[in-house]
Amino acid sequence: MNYKCDKCGSEKLFVEEQGNRRGLYCGECGKWQKWITKQELQVCKFKGIKIIKSN
Ligand SMILES: [Zn+2]
């Protein structure tokens, strides 16, 4: 799993939950990176990546 923004290179990424999907976004420039799996979500939790719920 890549933890760097593919646009600006920032490592400040966060996850936004959108229904059943979870998007990985850059916290610096806001660029969407990828949809992440449940397994990757566990990795994000472990790494302390911020997870935002969106309705
Ligand atoms: Zn970025």
CA of 3 from ligand 1 middle (Å) equals 11
What span, in angstroms and rounded, lies between the C-alpha atoms of 28 and 23? 15
CA of 14 from ligand 1 middle (Å) equals 11
The whole-number pLDDT of residue 14 equals 97
**φ/ψ bin of 19: left (φ > 0), alpha (ψ from -120 to 50), beta (otherwise):** left
Torsion of CA 3, 39, 27, 48, to 10 degrees: -90
What span, in angstroms and rounded, lies between the C-alpha atoms of 44 and 38? 10
Q: Which residues surround ligand 1, an ion (CB under 5 A)?
A: 5, 7-8, 10, 26, 28-29, 31
State pLDDT tens for residues 1-54. 668 999 999 999 999 999 999 999 999 999 999 999 999 999 999 999 999 998
The whole-number pLDDT of residue 15 equals 97
Asked if residue 55 has pLDDT above 90, the reply is: no
The whole-number pLDDT of residue 9 equals 97
